[in-house]
Amino acid sequence: MATSASSKDDWADIFLSAALEPEKWGQAIHAMAQATGSRHGQLIGFGAGASAFNWISEIDDSILAKSASIEQSAPDLNFRVAADRLPDRPAIVHEAHYDIARRSLRADDYLDLCSDFDIFDGCQSKLVASDHQMIGLALLRGSKDGRTTEGQRALFADIAGHARTAVRLQQAIEQQGFALLAGTFEAMDRACWLLDATGRVGGMTPRAENLLSTSRIRVSDGWLASDRADETRAILRAVRTVIEPPGRAADPVALADADGGVAIMLEFYPLPVRPWALPFAPRAIAIARVGAPSDRHVQLLTRTFRLTPAEADIAIRLAAGQSRPDIAAARGVSAATLKVQLRSIYDKTGCQRESQLVRIVGLISH
């Protein structure tokens, strides 16, 4: 059912409802399009990784797949992005600015998209802008709609103010999830980092914060990293795995100690994503296990070297620096049984010395 509005109070209510019940964003941008005589309303976000989203009212869903193949945030491809970067451009960018921006495009990919879906004209405004992210509101108009009039742009400007307030409210609500989840993990006494839709750290537990000052793990420009380039690359690969759709658990990343063993095991898991969620909510969790075996690391070793789960557990404990007596005690086996199991591990991995085994275990997840 369409939503209509006739006053500022109506628009405030429509967008307040969208912030509190995000599934109503579709109704809100559809009402905006109707009120301005436009074919479509759009709420769009650009950013690193999976923070990008594109919600368009009343349009063929195939546009999402086609637009995904275009680098929409590139100003030399997308004239709407280029128009927003023009000097002295107003708060509401419109067709006059699009005309200028189209002259400097290096390819016709986005122009072809606009032609296919008849969305050449319209106007737009930024709602949120930062170094890492932009969320914008737009009208997309077809050939029958014509160019926006001054009156339509004035109404759009008023609506954009309400939409901006709604986005900020939803941002505040979603970011509360970081505090709530961090509190839960704090109670579990875990070193945990919560990642947003860009993959950046949005919150952490006290134990995780302490680990930043006592280990090689660090947060650089919001990203979880190590002071070793190879480990940082492995971390970023794992982050992409849990953040990018469909979002799945990543293979653990082992951070080596000075001797090449496993000092810290980082595990990455995606969180459920609500439909119509903006990029501010927690999207993934990174958990550090210090000197402890990892179930997923055990699975990696069993797949790679055909170790039994018990053998993989022993190999990880050995690589984490645990002594043979401690491993035997933890496993509940005798020293003789442990010796037999270690011999089998060496045979399966092709190692001749303990130091070789430690290095293999430490680097297997890279």
CB atoms < 10 A from the CB of 133, how many? 20
Q: Does residue 222 belong to any structural domain of this protein?
A: yes
The larger pLDDT score, comparing residue 269 to residue 1, is at 269
CB atoms < 10 A from the CB of 262, how many? 31
- Residue ending a domain, choose from 173, 202, 233: 173
Q: Please give the residue range of the domain that contains residue 348.
A: 293-366
pLDDT for res 106: 95
Q: Does residue 325 belong to any structural domain of this protein?
A: yes
As a whole number, mean pLDDT of residues 282-286 equals 92
pLDDT digits (tens, 9 = 90+) for 334-359: 999 999 999 999 999 988 877 678 66
Instruction: Please classify residue 66 by burial: count the beta carbons closer than 10 Å to its beta carbon, then call 0-12 exposed, 13-18 middle and 19+ buried.
Output: middle
Whether residue 95 is found in the same domain as residue 206: no
Whether residue 149 is found in the same domain as residue 213: no
Q: What CATH number has the domain bearing residue 131?
A: 3.30.450.80
% residues pLDDT > 90 (the chain): 50
Report the chain's C-alpha Rg in angstroms: 26
pLDDT digits (tens, 9 = 90+) for 14-29: 999 999 999 999 999 9
Q: Does residue 36 belong to any structural domain of this protein?
A: yes
Question: Positive or negative, the Cα torsion across 51, 240, 246, 249?
Answer: negative
Per-residue pLDDT for 1 more than 60? no
Whether residue 332 is found in the same domain as residue 266: no
Q: What CATH number has the domain bearing residue 275?
A: 3.30.450.20
- Residue ending a domain, choose from 236, 269, 292: 292
Q: Does residue 108 belong to any structural domain of this protein?
A: yes
| Matching residue, tokens 């128009």 | 83
Q: What CATH number has the domain bearing residue 323?
A: 1.10.10.10
Who's near 357: CB < 8 A, 6+ residues apart? 315, 318, 319, 345, 346, 349, 351
Q: Please give the tally of structural domains in the chain.
A: 3
Whether residue 22 is found in the same domain as residue 163: yes
Q: Does residue 344 belong to any structural domain of this protein?
A: yes
pLDDT digits (tens, 9 = 90+) for 140-198: 999 999 999 999 999 999 999 999 999 999 988 888 888 877 777 666 667 889 999 88
Whether residue 317 is found in the same domain as residue 272: no
pTM: 0.69
Whether residue 327 is found in the same domain as residue 229: no
Whether residue 238 is found in the same domain as residue 335: no
pLDDT digits (tens, 9 = 90+) for 113-124: 999 999 999 999
- Residue ending a domain, choose from 173, 205, 221: 173
Mean pLDDT is lowest, of 38-47, 236-245, 314-323, for 314-323
Q: Does residue 183 belong to any structural domain of this protein?
A: no
Whether residue 158 is found in the same domain as residue 260: no
Q: Does residue 178 belong to any structural domain of this protein?
A: no
Whether residue 235 is found in the same domain as residue 134: no
Burial 23-55 (b: 16+ CB within 10 A, else e): ebbbbbbbbbbbbbbbbbbbbbbbbbbbbbbeb
Whether residue 59 is found in the same domain as residue 98: yes
Closest by CA position to 79, among listed 50, 121, 42: 121
Q: Does residue 2 belong to any structural domain of this protein?
A: no
Per-residue pLDDT for 298 more than 70? yes
Whether residue 25 is found in the same domain as residue 166: yes
pLDDT for res 2: 43
Whether residue 25 is found in the same domain as residue 127: yes
